[in-house]
Structure 1
């Protein structure tokens, strides 16, 4: 069985099919697998699966220190807290788990080298630029998705810099997922790497010309859209943030 794409979905499918006794070969376009956005929110519908696969203790080891106790919403201009949802053990009590796709007779995938690999079944987990999907649906120009007109910038800030600043220290110490909400844009931030780094995702309106997880952005263009936001966000601009 061939599985195309070794992202989170591809590896999860490969693991489950392997556990069921299938012989799986995973193909991946990238020559090296690395981080694309370092923060992943593992909610109960996902952590329940990880626990079922025997990863309860591993999940706890990796993510316990960063487990959020609350999800807070702040006004963009002043930082005033306008809403909060308590998390902690509440989600586990409520949901039972913590907040942590062929027609030919012979199926084959042809690699860039010219080599063909055959299998009884090919599963496409190759993301928004899926090659497998185009063959399955027999169309060569399938819309990737419904454009929302937004772009997301991702960045990481060492929490040591934040802990040295009295206005930012609480963002690290309180173990909260914080969402700053403003007109047509928002920012989400939370701790990762055992509290040593602060992950940020900045979402704003865009012309939709780029459709990629890895394309570099223009920091000056980003910051021009956030003039007038509260002082804590201005600090992040002065830190080593890349887009």
Structure 2
């Protein structure tokens, strides 16, 4: 993300100012019209291309290692003949993968009849995830994935859609609650969850769960997902900039 969104010298000199707030304010006050907002060029460095290629190479090596070690056969043999696979921790913990996909028909918060929405996930009043801001839309698409590790109890999660403001505090654009619990996601499949916001509009999440165990398949799978997610995020951001 630092490569794709490099900080300017002015931003580095202003550590107390939010980078998104400062960039938004500077863009609005220096651009004369909408065309000027979209006309700023972006120069891709060779290092970015090398890094995204390195991710692809790492995935290929991991796949070869998976086959060379015969991971599926080892895991099946351990389940049949070995002792029970121990939990990673004394208390069972589960890894939830939450993809914040999109929202539809959000409440307009700005004078132009649009909003600058981003999503925040909160657990027990603490922020555990925040998407990027999508400017000037009522139907934003984020496609961002966050991993949250929780114990085996049911947890209430608040999904808040906020409107980013250049001046003043960000405004509440709508919110909804949902539950994370092993009993809801124990099939380990991806569930599409549509949340109806308390103001207007809907928010789409894709949620899956995996138990954190000291199991060879689990750790290979986690490495695969991490690499794939990073590659997808970089590719999506590059396409958006193009």
- Give the alignment's TM-score, normalised by structure 1: 0.29
